Structure 1
Amino acid sequence: MGVFVLGSINLDAVARVDDLPRPGETVAGLSLELFLGGKGANQAVAAARMGAPTRLMGAVGKDDSGASLKVKLAGYGVQVADVAELSGAPTGQAHVWVSNGGENMIVVTGGANMMITPQQVAATALEGQRVLLAQLETPASAIEALFKAGAAKGGLRVLNAAPALPQGAALFPLTDILILNQTELATYARLDHEPAKLEEVSKAARKLMSRPDQTIIVTLGKTGVAAVRRDEAFLVEGRKVKAVDTVGAGDCFCGALAAGLAANLDLREAVEQANAAAALSVQKPGAAPSMPSKREVEVFLEG
């Protein structure tokens, strides 16, 4: 059973700096590299690297960047037949600054990613797709169409509600598994601080549930990952690693989780696997290039 990802595809321009700039400050870049990126692409690569048959639906511009990114995606094992090349919009871009400490700041321009329509999604065959995974870098109307169509096909609907946008909350009732980080949880739950302890995270997460069968997963950085259901919650502790680049770590988690669920792992096993994959990803530069293979994750978990 496969993973179907609806999401963004970007050209990431990653500049390394000693320290992230403050408002109004100019800093010298240490290096500049171009990578395949976008939450949809990153998550699709992560799922494919973890061994799941993975299809990506999205859009790029009919430009050199778009053609190149499709080739790179295919090279990672992602099926790209559902990626449209549009002449009316440029390929999406992300401008990323990464400090020596591994922290990052990102500005995204959506371009072709924002041109995906509900009609395109509705016309797509979803048979055999165990997990339907989306984020919020494509139109909410297209995600809604995917989740409604997927429910009829028995797919497990997973939403990574990032970035935290107001229209994202309208998709929560259509979602089986909702993935957030601490900042996004605080935004959607309208908290004045980011919850850190499991009890506080669970209380905030349950505010967002609209059905008793939903699961909310909250990534907590170095602390680990909390999984919250209506009647239970558990924490998978973070793994101690030296972070080189945290760009794409959340996407790695989402894609690896989808792959685990598509392979019929239970929730705790899937979360543990995805947590390990994310820990491995921060030890390499870039987003898509840092996604580990299934074998690398297995060796890491055995160690």
Structure 2
Amino acid sequence: MTSRDIEAVFVGVATLDAIALVPGFPGADERIVADEVSYAGGGPAATAAVTAARLGVRSAFVGTVGDDANGRAVISGLEAEGVDVTGVSVAAGESTAASVVIVDRSRGTRAICNRPAPRIDVSAGADLIASAPLVHVDHAGWEPVHRAGLVRDGARLCVDAGNPIPGFDARGVGLYVPTVEALRRIHGEARSVDELLEASIALGCRTVVATDGSKGSYGRTSSGQGAHAPALAVRVLSTLGAGDVFHGALVAAVVRGLPLAEQLAFANVTAALSCRGLDGRSRIPRPAEVLATMARDPARDTGADQAIGSTAGAAAPAPSDTH
């Protein structure tokens, strides 16, 4: 692919994760036997890029890895998914971001220990960012893209704002995607979802989409259009990466030109179906499965036992917390 072929560029964090599925979280000095151990690529922007690529969008990832075996594994994993990696830089003498994740099968929860990513250098991907029809940034990708002035038309910019972004300014941003929890931290706990969406539009973005876990997702445009999509009930193995998958699927829905309500539904279903896997990527569905699931009534899913829309952005400082 050339830069002219790329439909969406994803800028931010890429990690290599070790994930253990356990019957319950271990106590101090306790040794337990894992049901399963998996190694997979992760990171908010990188997993979103993989999702979009799997859904048929010509995607590129821009970020930085270390000059180590993990960095090479991250790059090869993205390449295997058809993601353009010409914008990935390698930081000499530094280690690639990595996470150790423990998934508690009994409670459906997880704990993440993270080694942060090297400082993101966007110079190798500057042409990709400057020319792409849509640029998605995570909490770590915002600052280098903003500083470099590579997206002068804010309508092209999609921001994953589940985690705090120092210095973030929503004015002119085409698609602002926080969680409802994040919006309550910004605008006040007592506000309704509608009030939170209106407050976000008042910040100057053109469209806001807020995720709220099992309650689904909500959208509002500056022209007053609103939408809500309920969560899809699935049998969940792990919610690791579900928020990142939601963002990648939302970008794919925008590229497809779907109306706002269908964008939300498309992203909800894709994120929910990905929760059938232990890691954040192995069960990301293809377009045919997403569309087939959307076409039937989710209430008829007899194998379902948990409603999942998007679990993006649990508040914590680790870069991979939106796994």
Map 1:102-121 → 2, pairs under 5 A? 102-112=108-118, 115-117=119-121, 120=123
Output the CA distance in 1 between the equivalents of 2:152 and 2:124. Answer: 13
Residue matched to 1:186: 184
Give the TM-score, by structure 2 length: 0.81
Contact 1:133/1:159 (CA < 8 Å) preserved in 2? yes
Report the residue type matching 2:169 in the other structure.
L
Report the residue type matching 2:175 in the other structure.
I
Residue matched to 1:141: 143
Structure 1 residues 296 and 145: alpha-carbon distance in aligned structure 2, compared to 1, 3 A threshold = farther
Which deviates further from its counterpart, 31-40 or 181-190? 181-190
Map 1:15-164 → 2, pairs under 5 A? 15-20=20-25, 28=32, 30=34, 31-100=36-105, 101-112=107-118, 115-117=119-121, 120=123, 123-126=126-129, 129-138=132-141, 140-145=142-147, 148-152=149-153, 156-164=156-164
Structure 1 counterpart SS, 2:157:
strand
Which of 213, 225, 228 in structure 2 is aligned with 1:221? 213
Q: Which runs of 5+ in 1 are unaligned?
A: none
Tell me how far 1:268 sits from its aligned partner. 1.9
Output the CA distance in 2 between the equivalents of 1:144 and 1:298. Answer: 35
Structure 2 counterpart SS, 1:290:
coil
Q: Which runs of 5+ in 2 are unaligned?
A: 1-5, 297-323
Residue matched to 1:278: 271
Tell me how far 1:245 sits from its aligned partner. 0.7
Tell me how far 1:41 sits from its aligned partner. 1.1
- State the 4+ residue runs in structure 1 displaced beyond 6 angstroms: none
1:175 matched to 2:168: no
Structure 1 residues 46 and 133: alpha-carbon distance in aligned structure 2, compared to 1, 3 A threshold = same
Structure 1 residues 271 and 121: alpha-carbon distance in aligned structure 2, compared to 1, 3 A threshold = farther
Structure 1 counterpart SS, 2:233:
coil
Report the residue type matching 1:104 in the other structure.
R
Q: Would you say how many aligned residue pairs link Structure 1 and Structure 2?
A: 288
The one-character-per-residue Cα deviations of 1:47-81 (angstroms, maximum 9, x if unpaired) are 10110000100111111111111111111111111
Give the TM-score, by structure 1 length: 0.86
Tell me how far 1:297 sits from its aligned partner. 0.9
The one-character-per-residue Cα deviations of 1:184-218 (angstroms, maximum 9, x if unpaired) are 222222427xx7xxxx1121232233455522111
